[in-house]
Amino acid sequence: MHFAFDVIGTVAFAISGVMVAMDKKLDLFGVFIIAFVTAVGGGTLRDVLIGNTPVLWMQDHIYIYIITVTVILSILLRSKIKYVRTSIFLFDSIGIGFYTLLGITKGLSVGLSPVMCIALGTMTACFGGVIRDILCNEIPVIFRKEIYATACISGGISFFLIRELPIDILYAEIFTILIIIGIRLWAVKYHISLPNIYRSFNTME
């Protein structure tokens, strides 16, 4: 089941990478590289930090194949996509939902505490998008106004709460993914952002 999660997250992030890269008019190879880096970046950081090497995408060809097919299909079907910004945001949100959960699971499997698992899950989810944006010269997604890493952390905390309930762990995992995607969609739709820490200073000036 985690494998299915991984495939969905990889595809979602690869699509978001293709879209940002094509929006920047990179050439075919640049598009592929951005898609690849966005898709495997988070998992690579996770594996390097916990010392799980060779990193996951090197142990199984499936990741390179999935990304290649996703890139080709995304480029071919791109003219069908009317709302590029909305689509980037949608696929990116799906990606962080699945990758946060995978990072948490991996953290548990190497014996990390819940706090560390949530940190690892959040980094797994956010890192691909951050390097995509740095390479494409965009403001990194986590620093933009909308709630981003906060969604991952909230989802992570929910996971450790739901897990205590007498339900199958799989439901806890799926619920966690939905919470993360849901918070992100909801925050962007209603322009929710974190409390402004600068207001009080402005008043005092």
| Subset of residues 79 to 98 that bind a second copy, contact rule: CB under 8 A | 79
Q: What are the residues whose beta carbons fall under 8 Å from the beta carbon of 84, sequence distance 6 or more?
A: 19, 23
Burial code (b: 16+ CB inside 10 Å, e: under 16) for 116-154 equals ebbbbbbbbbbbbbbbbbebbeeeebbeeebbbbbbbbb
Give the C-alpha separation, 118 to 108, whole Å.
10
Q: Which of 7, 8, 112, 162 contacts a second copy by CB under 8 A?
A: 112
Q: Which of 64, 66, 157, 162 contacts a second copy by CB under 8 A?
A: 64
Q: Which of 1, 4, 27, 83 contacts a second copy by CB under 8 A?
A: 27
**Min separation Cβ 146 and a second copy, Å:** 9
Complex with a second copy: residue 149 or 174, whichever CB lies closer:
149
Amino acid sitting at position 53: T
**Min separation Cβ 138 and a second copy, Å:** 11
Question: What is each CA distance from 130 to 122, 140, 141, 175, in whole angstroms?
Answer: 12, 5, 6, 25
**Residues at the site binding a second copy, with contacts judged by CB under 8 A:** 22, 25-31, 33, 44, 48-51, 53-55, 58, 61, 64, 75, 78-79, 110, 112-113, 115-116, 119-120, 130, 134-135, 137, 139-140, 142-143, 145, 147-150, 193-198, 200-201, 204
